[in-house]
Structure formats: structure tokens, C-alpha cells
Structure 1
């Protein structure tokens, strides 16, 4: 294996756009990788991509996109294929909501400066297609990244992740263009969680470091596959968020494991911590025992405790559904299903309320067309029928959780 760094920070002479961009050249096994670091909502990055493709010759273009994001970028109407019933039934409403929150963060910044989010990736795609070059999609699916990030951290850090997502929606402060350029020092996902991502090693590992290794493995795999064809690749342009440049450069130099097993390992979901389920089971068990003891002491005491459980959990879930802008029948469904949660542990309360919501307020074509724009502003989440249904799912579950703790406190207090 031969590894060679060649003038990693030296753009071509006279290149104004490229002069401000972080660039690295790494040669391994006879293939030169030109790593171009970009900011995902930067005019300068778009110009740099176009300029380097005009000035230099490449055999392939690799971009920091996964297959779903690529299809979404090439087909803006792809959300029309979203089956909300299936999303709710499979328990993926929270994940879809998180993806929309990520998208809205990027689009909000892009809207401020009049540039499409991911425009530098689109410029790379258009440039590759115009030159009839292969396009390599090297990033890991964002859903897998989020799941691995959430499962890699403890409860408090998970709250931090949720706060980062929520904060990206609520914040309406304008951002200076000079600050946008500073995104080249990080990564879009990492930027959403700001200092929190850098202060949490497990979160930084899942959001940044793992993806560095994954994208490097994808580059090696694509290069290996191309070597077995009539048109082997000798020079590759790699367009990535600049926060990944140093990590990928180092990984290209040092990575020795086979690419395919490495990708499989980095795409596997680690087992979730058993403690949340154990704690939840313990809470339900403690409340059930307390209610049983109160019934033993007297039918009236037991009935009062049972009504406390029904009202607290039901009202909590119903308030959550109502706060999300759900239909009264959606809130009623949440109220009815919430007290039965211990008997249906695998079915979230939000599935019932969101199911009723999408049945009553079926998404219109206009909702799919405007979804990406509506979620830029936090008020749009309540206006669009699709995003509102996702909120009903999430808020009903949160209301149920709050009601459970209130009920538990009141019931155990009456026992003592």
C-alpha cells in the first residue's frame, strides 16, 4: 500500500473560490483522492465544486450523500410516496420527525441566504453527469446515524439530542454569512447540537468519527470495484462536509480492514440499553402493587387509586395530542389507550392517536408539496397535516410519560 499526501492545502493557481476551501490530496494504491471540504449551505462551496471540476480531470465523483438523500435531492416530490399509516404502524414517526427537523435546520439557514440546501452536492452531481463520470454515494443513512447516536449515550445526553432538534426549530435568529462559512470547521449534524456534540465523546463518535470510517470504507470499496472493470479509476473528487476532511484523510492512510465488513459493522444498530425498559417495568409494577394493596385495604381506596391512574395517564396523553393540534377524536383515542399501556407494552400510545389523526385529516397533495417549506418554521409543523400527525405521535407519548409519573407519585403517596 502506498500513501502519499501532496500539498493538501494548495489550490490551483489563480483559483479564488478554491483558495478559501479546505482541500487535501491523498494517494493510496495508485488512486489519488482529492478531498474538497465544503459547507452545506455556502455559495463559496458551490463555486468551488464547479471550479475544481472545470479545472481538473477526474475519473469519478464521490459525494457525502446516502441513497435516500440522493433520491430526495433528485426527486423533490419523493415525500409524496410517504405512507403515514405504515410509518405509524412501524413506530418510525419519531425518526421521520427527527429527519424533518434536520432538514428544516439546513433549509432555514439556506433560505436566509437564498441558496438551496445541499447545493454543493447538487453541483457535484450535475458536474459529474455533464462529464459522464460515475457518482459514488458514500455516506451512511442518516436514520442509522441518529439511531446509533441515541443508543450510544445515556438518558441525559438523549435529552440533549432532543433539545438540539427542538432548538433548531424554535430559534429564529439570523446567522451572519461569515458564521455559515465557519460550518466548514464542523459538520451539519454536529452543528445542530453545537458544543454538546463536541463535549460528548459517544455522540461525536456516532455523528462524525464513525461516518469518517464508513465513508472511507465506501471509497475503498468503489475503487476496488472499478479496478475490476475496463475503466479503472485513478483520480477521484470527494465532496464532503469539511468537518470530515481530516478524519477521512487519516482513515484513507491507515484503514486496513476489509471495506464490506467494516460498513456492515458501522451500519448495525447496537442493542438498546435494557435499563429504560427495566425502569419502566419497575414503575408499572410498583404502581400495580400499590393499587392492589389499596384494594386490599378497602374497595374505595383501591378504586380511587385506579381512577387516579386512568385520569392521570389518559389526561396527560390527551393533553399531549391536543397540544400537537390533534383532532378531539385523536385526543380521545390517546385518553382511552393510555391507561392500557401496561397491557400493550409494544404499542406506543402515540400510534393510536396519530392513527386517528391521519384517518380524520388525511394528507392532501398540497401538504406533501409544502412539507419541506412548512417545517422550516416551527409554526408550520402545526399547519401541515403530515408534520402535525408526527407531532401528535410524539406529544401523546410524552404526555403519557408525564401522566405515569404523576399517577405513580399520587398513588404511592396515598399508600404511605
Structure 2
């Protein structure tokens, strides 16, 4: 292993008969992009590895794919929160890039373009971002998850400019880690899935590729925060790469008991209604009315905050008290469907999504991101309303 005296951090590691050059980059640095161009122009490399997963790679090759996204299916399949988080991460990167007039991930794009022009293989070595984010959520307690999303959104819409020196300091860390660590009180639970697991994953993918295809000289374009970890796993690990990849691609099995909570709450609410009517019809109807008013009002307030159509807000008020008693469907799914019907996203909304989500106003102006906000806020309002109304029912029964 040797250090390069060049400005960008660089390491060379032998893996069997192959030489892997790790080039550390900052994903929004023109210096990094220029260095990739310089190294590839030498013609010394027969393969290029990039810190991309298949979905991010396809997004680069087909930037219009987002415009073909079926927004309702995204919500129906329970992926709305994941898409919103992806948008927030992309917007954070875009905000940094806009300050320095460089395309996000320019060094990755240059590597891909050069490889295509010279008919060299492009090795996608990073783990799917959806898997990473799901493992991040699994690693933190459930009560901190809303804080993670709120903090991520706050970092996206911040108006504070970042100096070029701070951009270059991203070489000491990782873009994802830097985004989350701005508001995370403790970083260890985030470090493992965001950095260490991906170090292992990318090292295993490199070993897998050079073993299967006998690449003699590979340039790996990675975030510099991953360099030490990848180098360590390349040098020390004796695990079979397929086993490591399978382990780190595994999605944690959700615990069963959280799935039972909505059903338990629904059962307790119905029990409360039954006890109320058993005491007196008047009390029973009062409990039902309070359930509707509290649950419906808070869900409608969420849709209103998200700037949903007036009919969407009305739908939230009507749907939330009903869907809260039927865990198979959420209020957000109903309100999002209505919002999509009334404010159907235009092609331009998808095209401007990355730029619009870099500002607070943009999240509400763009019909795609606004629909996601309608889903999230009306769902959150209904969830809060369910607990508040439930406690109110108990208070009325025992009072």
C-alpha cells in the first residue's frame, strides 16, 4: 500500500494479481472531478469502480426516469418516507453544488463517461441507498426517527452558505454521515450502517469483481471518508465477498409487536365505545364525536400545513377517524390519492424536483414533494390524534 503525494488522497492496494487504486473524492468538489479526469486520461486502468448503487447509476444514465415515477404506487407501497428522505439527501447535495457551480457527483459522471467512451467496464460497488436508509432507521430507536427526518429537512432548507474549505473537509467524512451528523446527538448508531457497513460492502464488491473478471488495474472513485475503512477491509478481510454482500444486503426483520399496536389501539377504542354506550347512549355518542373531532381535526391540520387542496383537507378530516380504526389503510394514503387527483403532478414538477427541494418554499410549490408532505403530515396528524383521542376516551370513562 502506498500513499500518493497528489492533492487528492490516493492509495494503491494489491488484491491477488490485481491492483486497486482508491481515489478519495468530495462529491461536490471540482478538484476531485479534475483529478478523476487526469488519472483516467493516462489510460492505465482497465476498469473503473464508482461509489454508486444500481438505482443511483440508472438515475445518472436516465435522468428523466423520475418523470415516469408513479407517485401513487410509491405511496401505496409504503415508500413515501423513503422517497422523501432520498429527495432531502439529494437536495442537500444539490444545495452544496449550486454554491460552487459544479454538478453533484461530477467525479462519478466523469468516470462513467470516460469508461463508456473507452468501452471499459463500470463497477457499481456501493449498496443500494434504500437498503442503507432502512438499516439506518433500524439502528435508531423509533422515537428518534421523526427527529432524524426533521433534522434532515432542516439541513436541506438551511440558508447558511458553506465555504469551499468546508466542502473539501468532507474528505474527512462522508456526505451521508455529514448530513445526518448535523443534528444527530450520538453518531455511533448512524456510523455503522452509513459508513462502516458500506466500507465492508464496497471492499467486498471490489474483491468480487477483480476475482470474477481478472481486472488488472482498477480505479475506484470513492468518497475519501471511506478510504481507510475500505483499505483496511481489503487488506485484512478473509471473508468470502459473497457472504459479506449477502449479510449487508439483508434487511432486518421487523419486530412483530409494533404491527400489533394499531390493532390493539383499534380494539381498545371500540371497547371504549362499547363501555360508553353501555353506560348511556349519550356518553357513547359523546365519545364517538370526540374521537372524530380530535382525530379528524389533527389529520386535516396536517394536510392544511402541507398546503393540500381544500378537498384534500376535508378528506383528511373524514378519513382519519375511520382509517385509524382500520390498520390496513392509513389516512395519508387516502389524502395523497385525493391530492394527486386534484393536483396531478406535471412533467415539469418531476424535472424541477431536485432544485425545488433545496428550499422550503420549493417543497410546497412542487406538486410532487407537496403530495409527499400531504401524505406525511396528514399521517402524523392522524397518529397524534389517535393517541390524544384514545386518552380522552379513557379519561371520560374513568372520570
Given the two structures, how large is their TM-score scaled by the length of structure 1?
0.91
2:37 alignment counterpart: 50
Equivalent position SS for 1:117: coil
RMSD of aligned residue pairs (Cα, Å): 1.8
> Is contact 1:164-1:192 (8 Å) kept?
no
1:133 to partner: Cα distance: 1.6
CA distance in 2, matches of 1:367, 1:200: 35
CA distance in 2, matches of 1:133, 1:197: 40
For these two proteins, the number of residue pairs brought into alignment is 398
Deviations 1:218-265 (A, max 9, x none): 1122112213xxxxx111100011111111111111222222232222
> Is contact 2:27-2:104 (8 Å) kept?
yes
CA distance in 1, matches of 2:175, 2:226: 10
Deviations 1:138-167 (A, max 9, x none): 111111111111012212332332133221
Runs (4+) of structure 1 exceeding 6 A deviation are none
Structure 1 residues 84 and 307 mapped into 2: Cα distance closer, same or farther (>3 Å)?
same
383, 386, 394: which one aligns with 1:412 = 394
Equivalent position SS for 1:315: helix
**Aligned ranges for residues 359-378 of structure 1 at < 5 Å?**
359-378=341-360
Unaligned runs of 5+ in 1: 12-18, 228-232
Out of 400-409 and 26-35, give the one that drifted further: 400-409
CA distance in 2, matches of 1:358, 1:154: 32
4, 26, 41: which one aligns with 1:10 = 4
Matched, 1:101 2:70: no
1:62 alignment counterpart: 49
**Aligned ranges for residues 112-261 of structure 1 at < 5 Å?**
112-194=99-181, 199-227=186-214, 233-261=215-243
Given the two structures, how large is their TM-score scaled by the length of structure 2?
0.95
Structure 1 residues 169 and 245 mapped into 2: Cα distance closer, same or farther (>3 Å)?
same
Equivalent position SS for 1:199: coil
CA distance in 2, matches of 1:404, 1:244: 44
Equivalent position SS for 1:355: helix
Equivalent position SS for 1:136: strand
Structure 1 residues 161 and 275 mapped into 2: Cα distance closer, same or farther (>3 Å)?
farther
288, 306, 318: which one aligns with 1:336 = 318
> Is contact 1:287-1:412 (8 Å) kept?
no
356, 360, 374: which one aligns with 2:338 = 356
Out of 245-254 and 275-284, give the one that drifted further: 275-284
Out of 354-363 and 121-130, give the one that drifted further: 121-130
